[in-house]
Structure 1
Amino acid sequence: MIDRINLALRKLPPWLLYLLGGIYPAWLLYLGVNGGLGPDPVKAMEHALGERALQLVILGLAVTPLRRLTGLNLLKFRRAIGLLAFSYVTLHLLVWLVLDVQILSQILRDIAKRPYITIGMAGFILMVPLALTSNNWSVHRLGRRWRRLHLLTYPAALLGGVHYVMLVKGFQIEPLIYLAMIIGLLGLRLPGASRRRLV
Structure 2
Amino acid sequence: MLVLNKPIRVNKHVITVFRVLIHLTALLWLGLVYLDGLNGNLPGDPVQYLIEFSGKGAINLLLICLVISPLAKQFKFAQLIKFRRTTGVYAALYAVFHLYIFISYELQFEWGLVFSEIIERPYITVGFITLSILLALAVTSPSTVKRKMGKHWQQLHNWVYPASILAIVHFWWSLKSEWSEPLVYLICLLLLLALRYKKLIPARRKTGNV
For the aligned pair, the TM-score class normalised by the smaller chain equals 0.7 to 0.9
Residues 77-126 of structure 1, C-alpha deviation per residue, up to 9 Å, x if partnerless? 11110111110000111110112112222222221121111111111111
Matches within 5 A, 1:21-60: 21-60=26-65
2:96 is the alignment partner of 1:96: no
The answer to whether the 8 A contact 1:56-1:82 is kept is yes
Structure 2, unaligned runs of 5 or more? 201-207
1:159 aligned to which of 163, 166, 187: 166
CA distance 1:68–1:105, shift in 2 (3 Å)? same
Q: TM-score, normalised by structure 2?
A: 0.83
Post-superposition shift, 1:5? 8.1
> Matched residue pairs, number?
196
Percent of aligned positions that are identical = 30
Measure how far apart 1:70 and its partner are.
4.0
Distance 2:176 2:11 in 1: 42
What does residue 16 of structure 1 align with?
A: 21
Task: Provide the aligned C-alpha RMSD in A.
Answer: 2.5
Equivalent pair of 1:189/1:198 in contact (CA under 8 Å) = no
- Residue 80, structure 1, aligned to residue 78, structure 2: no
How far, CA to CA, are the matches of 2:7 and 2:75 in structure 1? 13
For 1:76 and 1:82, the matched residues in 2 are separated by 11
Q: Which runs of 5+ in 1 are unaligned?
A: none
Match of 2:151? 144
Residue 7 of structure 1 corresponds to 10
TM-score by length of 1: 0.88
